[in-house]
Structures are given as C-alpha cells and as structure tokens.
Amino acid sequence: MAEKKMVEAITSMEEDFAQWYTDVVKKAELTDYTSVKGCMVIRPAGFAIWERLRNELDKRFKETGVENVYLPMFIPESLLQKEKDHVEGFAPEVAWVTEGGQQPLQDRLCVRPTSETLFCDYYKNTVHSYRDLPQVCNQWCSVVRWEKETRPFLRSREFLWQEGHTAHATAEEAEERTIQMLNVYADFLEEFCAIPVIKGKKTDKEKFAGAEATYTVEALMHDGKALQSGTSHNFGDGFARAFGIQYTDNENKLQYVHQTSWGVTTRLIGAIIMVHGDDSGLVLPPKVAPVQVCIVPIQQKKEGVLAKADEIKEILKGFRVKVDDTDKSPGWKFSEQEMRGIPLRIEVGPKDIEAGKCVVVRRDNKEKIDVSFTELEEKIGEILEKMQSDMLEAARARRDSQTYVATDYEEFKKIFTEKTGFVKAMWCGDQACEDKIKEELSVTSRCMPFEQENISDKCVCCGKPAKKMVYWGKAY
C-alpha cells in the first residue's frame, strides 16, 4: 500500500491543475513554506535546479561580453523618485525600511524590487567619455515585491533572478543588445530547458514601466495558460535624462547614454514543472536535471548487486549519477525517482547481472530499454540526447495543438469560453480594445510576434483596420 500512496498523493492535472502544481512542488521537495507569508525556502532539490539554470545562463551571458557586478539591496526614496513612470509602476509592490537600529531614517529606503535606479546612479559616476562605453553588466540577486497572491516559484514576495543592465553610446547599439539578449533567452529555453517559446514585442499597455520597448519570450504551460518566461527592455535615453548620465563623444560633445535591461527569475523552475510534468510528478529535461541517472539495485542484499551498481556508476562518471542504496523497496524507489523527475532509471538485479545487461527506463515516456553493460556509456548518452529533443518536440506539438486563430470577436470569445491556449488574432493598436478584452475575458495580449501573419484585415475586437497580429492568452 505504501508504494501506491506516494503517487496517489498528487492530485491529477485534469482534476485540479493548480493543486497538482502545489503537490509536485511539495512532494518533489523543491520548496517549503516559511514564517514569512509569501516567502519560500528553496530546498536542496529546488536550488540544485536553479544552479543548473543559473550556471548555463551565466556562461551564455559571458560569451556575449557580459560582466557580473553586485549592487546594494537598498534604494533611497529620493533616488527612486527620479524616474516618474518607473516609480509609479512599482509603487504598489514596494517594501520600505523606515528605521535603522532604533533610529528613524531621514530618507526611507526601498528594498529593491528591481535595480534600474541603482545602476543609473552607478553609471552616472563611472561613464564620462565614449571610451567608457559600452557598459554591459549583470547581477544575480534577490528582489522583493509585496505580491498579494503568491505561489511557489511563479510569484513570491522575495525571489531570485538575474538582471542585466547596459549602457551604450547609440540607440542602434542599445536596440541590438536588447534583441541579442532576448535571443539568448529563447535559445536557452529551447536548447537547455526544452521549452518552445514565441518571441515578440509587448504592447505599450504591457511594457515595463519606464521602457521605450519591451520584448518577451512567451511559453505555454500544460493547462493552456501563458507564462512570460523572460523579458528584455530598451530604455532609450529616458533614464539617462532623468539621472543625468552623459558622456563626451569623440567630437567632444556631451551625449546621453542609451540603456537596456533584461531578466529571468526562479519562475523558470515553475515553467519547467508546468510544461513537462505529469501525474507522476516532475519530469526534468536531461540538461537541466541535477541527477540524470538513478541506479536502483534490485534485491540489493544479494551478493554482488550493490557492487555492480557502484561499478555502473563508475562507468557512467561522465554523467550526473546516483545509486539509491537506501533500504526502501524497489517500488518505492521507482515512485520517488519519478516524483523527482530524474530522467533515467537503471534497474539492476541478480538476473540482469547474469544476463550481462540492465534495464533503462525513460522518465518522460516510461519506455524500458535493455542495454548490455558493455554498451552502457554510449547508450546512456544517446538516450539522454534523444529524450532532450523528444521533450522539446512534445512540448512544441502540445503548444501548437493549443494555438487557435480567431477573425472576429464572437469566435474569439467562444474559444476563450470553451478552451485554453494561445489565440492568434489581429489588433488595431488601440488600447481600448486591449482593455475591453481584459475586462470581459480576463485575457491579455502576450506579444506581437516578430514573425507576423496577416490573418485578416480587421481588428478582432472593434473591426477597424488591423495593424498587428497578436498572441492573446490567459496568463500566470
């Protein structure tokens, strides 16, 4: 009975997707609750995933010339007030420090919700001449936003992220960097996380407070809801003018810098759970998985079984491997390995040893493959590679099957009443139509994709001439 119970403890996706998500996060031991409402403990299994994501992204950033820095977590209120649109955008979620020790502070301090103002202050002091440009910086840190509704990884009051902030001599350079970093995110999500994305531009209503343009990568979760998985912002020279960030160009004239900012957060872990998970728990893409192979000895007390398991681990030392030699039953170990999303399980017992082979089980499709000990290293590499590409293709096929087209408002409404997913539809460019769609259907514009299609000549909402094709959806 105990063996069955571990999986029964997960609510099925079909029954209640939100509860399924919470169950997986808890049962796979990714997070725990804390005494501070809306803040989470990221447990070792969860943090190991974040480290994999962080290290890979950091490597990709550095290949484009990014340097890491660290700025303070406190922002003086006077500094925050310098960019009006920006401060208004964040005001409802800001946490304030009003006392230091037992002394009231003259200028109260905001706990960073994001660091644009701090980077502006830094660049104002370090950029003087065109020779000081470009500045291409990134910091890995935590930020605080006083969210009302919270959910592990997807929305918490304190979360981990990276925020890139760059300063350039020209508008063209800034735009180039903005798009370059968006492409870094898109490639990382598809190649490393096996998550297909739509790349595009946010509407003015949905763009970042204080930005000239916001670009996004949008992914579709298993339940048909969208998740903004990474954003890249072009600030133009708006922040530079507010903060007085000027440099002398090569003709000795004073110019304002052009800035960008781009970031992803621990919500990527939520995306991985919701794109790939199933009713048995987490399913981790092989490149993401902290442990790629779990070796389960069968009848491990029999002579030679544990020794063989250790020998296999040694053969596979080029992969991330663990041997589960606990005294739990094999069935329990299988359930646990599935719950934790470990890509491959190797089962080896006395009969397997005698036959000179073992059983390899894929986590994503439960396929069982007999592999001889002599071919093990090569085969495991091939299976992991195949699994990584299969998971991307499965996610892409599911997204495409949940992407619809609407040419008029009745059709648009009908789709969102009966189904969930992306809807491609034309838009006139008027925010009034966006507002109406959000108010009536709880649907937002996700992005105006770079790859435009002309579905019709009319706006799906008002029927006026259309300007852009937009992906619409309900979102996390």
Q: Which of 253, 284, 308 lies closest to 388, judged by CA?
A: 284
Instruction: Dump pLDDT digits (tens) for 116-168.
Output: 999 999 999 999 999 999 999 999 999 999 988 899 999 999 999 999 999 99
Q: How far apart are CA 456 and CA 426, in angstroms?
A: 7
- DSSP E strands in 146-270: the ranges are 158-168, 198-201, 213-220, 226-236, 246-248, 254-256, 258-265
Instruction: Dump pLDDT digits (tens) for 372-393.
Output: 999 999 999 999 999 999 999 9
- 4-to-336, 342, 385 alpha-carbon distances in Å: 11, 19, 31
Position 80 scores a pLDDT of 84
Q: Give the pLDDT mean for 6-24.
A: 89
Q: What contacts 24+ positions apart, CB below 8 Å, involve 34-39?
A: 36/157, 37/150, 37/157, 38/146, 38/147, 38/150, 38/156, 38/157, 39/156, 39/157, 39/158
Q: What is the dihedral of CA 436, 440, 441, 442, to 10 degrees?
A: 80
Position 90 scores a pLDDT of 73
Instruction: Dump pLDDT digits (tens) for 221-278.
Output: 999 999 999 999 999 999 999 999 999 999 999 999 999 999 999 999 999 999 999 9
Residue 25 has which token pair?
Answer: 């996060």
Helix, strand and coil in the chain, % to nearest 5? 40, 30, 35
* Prediction pTM value: 0.95
Residue 396 has which token pair?
Answer: 């892409």
Q: Give the pLDDT mean for 352-364.
A: 97
Percent of the chain topping pLDDT 70: 98
Pick the CATH number of 293-383 from 3.20.20.70, 2.40.50.100, 3.40.50.800, 3.40.50.300: 3.40.50.800
293-383 and 403-473 share one fold: no
Q: How far apart are CA 152 and CA 172, in angstroms?
A: 39
Position 7 scores a pLDDT of 52
Query: Given pLDDT bands bounded at 50, 70 and 90, which one contains residue 2?
Result: very low
Strand order in 357-362's β-sheet?
321-323, 293-297, 344-348, 357-362, 368-372
Domain ranges within the chain, ordered by starting residue = 27-276, 293-383, 403-473
Pick the CATH number of 27-276 from 3.40.718.10, 1.10.490.20, 3.40.50.300, 3.30.930.10: 3.30.930.10
Instruction: Dump pLDDT digits (tens) for 268-319.
Output: 999 999 999 999 999 999 999 999 999 999 999 899 999 999 999 999 999 9
- Residues contacting residue 286 through CB under 8 Å, at least 6 positions apart: 292, 343, 344, 384, 385, 387, 388
- Residues contacting residue 245 through CB under 8 Å, at least 6 positions apart: 120, 123, 124, 127, 167, 239, 256, 257, 259
pLDDT exceeds cutoff 80 at 410: yes
Instruction: Report the CATH number of the 403-473 domain.
Output: 3.30.110.30
